[in-house]
Amino acid sequence: MSTELILSRHGRTVWHAENRYAGSSDVDLDDVGRRQAEQLATWAAAHRPDAFYCSPVRRARETAAPVAAALGAEPVVVDDLREVHFGVAEGLTIGEIREQLPDVARAFESDPVAGAFPEAEPTAGAAARAVAALQGIVAAHPDGRVLVVAHNTLFRLALCSLLGIPLADYRIVLPRLDNGTLTRLRFTGGRAALLSFNVPLP
Annotated binding site: 59
Q: What angle do CA 144, 166, 60 make, to 5 degrees?
A: 45
Residues 6+ apart with CB under 8 A from 73: 52
Q: 83, 121, 141, 151: which one is catalytic?
A: 83
Q: 149 - beta bridge partners?
A: 8, 54
Q: What angle do CA 54, 116, 113 make, to 5 degrees?
A: 85
- List the binding residues for substrate: 59
Cβ atoms < 10 Å from Cβ of 35: 15
Transcribe 99-111 into DSSP letters.
HH-HHHHHHHHH-
d(CA 59, CA 57): 6
> In terms of Cα–Cα distance, which of 55, 120, 114, 113 is closest to 91?
120
90 is catalytic: no
d(CA 152, CA 8): 9
83 is catalytic: yes
- Phi–psi pair at 13, nearest 5 degrees: -120, 175
Residues tagged active-site: 10, 83
